[in-house]
Amino acid sequence: MSADSDLRARVGAIPPGLDFSPVSRVKPPPLSQATVAIVTTAALAHPGEPWADQTHDYRLFDRDDARLLLAHNSTNFDRSGFALDRNVVYPIDRLAEMEREGAIGRVAPRHASFIGSTFELGTFLLDTGPRLAADLRRDGVDVALLTPV
């Protein structure tokens, strides 16, 4: 069994008892007309700005920002992939190509990162998630692509 298969097995399923409301799904404009943003939980950061563990906050990065560290504090995932090619986590160059091809309407001017190490989930639903949505909507975002590490 690979290390990641073992880790997935150890983590297992969400414990019973969580109660989420029915899921909603909105209809976006055609992708070729949509503004797309990335929302990652990789804890992207600028040098000298580490993340606090267990925070629900998010940071916004301009689409042209090239000074990005993968600052997530977990030791339990590969980091060499991002070091070689940020697009394996944060596919900003792929989106730019899709924009040039007309496959998507526009790459959003700003993209977001959280740190995916937080056990308490309600604050994402009731506070920082809606606040990020408001920021993205001000940027005209129609579609968000979410990526973990």
Partner 1 sequence: MCTRTVSTLSRALEAAGIATVSLLSNRKQAEGIGPPRGLYCAFPLGRPLGKPLDPAYQRRVLDAAFALLDAPALQASPSSPSPRPGSAAAPETTEPLIVDFPDVIEDEADQPLACPIPPRLDPNEAPAIAEARALRPAYERGLARTGAPQVGRVVDADGLPEAIRPFVAVVDGAPWNAVEYAGGRIGELLLDIRAYYETAALGLSDHVPAARASESWYHRKTRMGDLLRRYFETVKQADPPFPALFYLIPLSQTEENLF
Find out whether 113 and 61 touch, Cβ atoms under 8 Å.
yes
Residues 1-40 that bind partner 1 (CB under 8 A): 2-8, 10-15, 18, 20-29, 31, 34, 39
Query: Which of 62, 78, 100, 138 is close enough to bind partner 1 by CB under 8 A?
Result: 78
Whose tokens are 């977001």? That residue is: 112
67 contributes a contact to partner 1 by CB under 8 A: yes
Q: β-pairing, 143-147 with 35-40?
A: parallel
* Cα–Cα distance measured from residue 93 to residue 102, given in angstroms and rounded to the nearest whole number: 14
Q: Which of 63, 96, 109, 124 binds partner 1 (CB under 8 A)?
A: 124
* Residue from 33, 62, 138, 148 binding partner 1 (CB under 8 A): 148
Quick one: which of 55, 59, 60, 129 contacts partner 1 (CB under 8 A)?
A: 129
The tokens describing 66, both together, are 């090239």
For residue 16, what are its two tokens? Answer: 């019973």
x-or-dash string of contact with partner 1, 92-121, rule CB under 8 A: -xxx-xx-----x---------x-xxxx-x
User: Cβ of 118: how many Cβ atoms within 10 Å?
Assistant: 16
Judged by CB under 8 A, the residue of 33, 48, 55, 99 near partner 1 is 48
